[in-house]
Amino acid sequence: MQVQARPFPYEFDLAKTALVLIDMQRDFIEPGGFGETLGNDVALLEAIVPATQKMLQGWRDAGGLVVHTREAHKADLSDCPPAKRNRGNPSLRIGDVGNMGRILIAGEPGNQIIEALAPVAGEIVIDKPGKGAFYATGLHETLQQRGITHLLFGGVTTEVCVQTSMREANDRGYDCLLLEDCTESYFPAFKAAAVDMIRAQGAIVGWTAPSGAVLAALDSH
Catalytic residue among 27, 80, 128, 191: 128
Catalytic residue among 23, 27, 181, 191: 23
Q: Where are the beta strands (DSSP E) in the chain?
A: 2-3, 10-11, 17-22, 65-71, 97-98, 101-102, 124-128, 150-156, 175-184, 207-209
Helix (H, G, I), strand (E, B) or coil at 128: strand
> In sequence order, what are the beta bridge partners of 22?
69, 155
Residue 128 a catalytic site member: yes
99 vs 26, 115, 120, 168, CA distance in Å?
A: 11, 17, 26, 32
**Using an 8 Å Cβ cutoff, are 110 and 96 in contact?**
no
DSSP string, 129-189: SSSSSSTTT-HHHHHHHTT--EEEEEEE-IIIIIHHHHHHHHHTT-EEEEEEEEEE-SSHH
DSSP state for residue 117 in the 8-state scheme: G
Catalytic residue among 80, 161, 176, 182: 161
Residue 23 a catalytic site member: yes
- What are the two backbone dihedrals, phi and then psi, of residue 129, each rounded to the nearest 5 degrees? -85, -10
**Using an 8 Å Cβ cutoff, are 40 and 50 in contact?**
no
Residue 80 a catalytic site member: no
**What are the catalytic residues?**
23, 128, 161
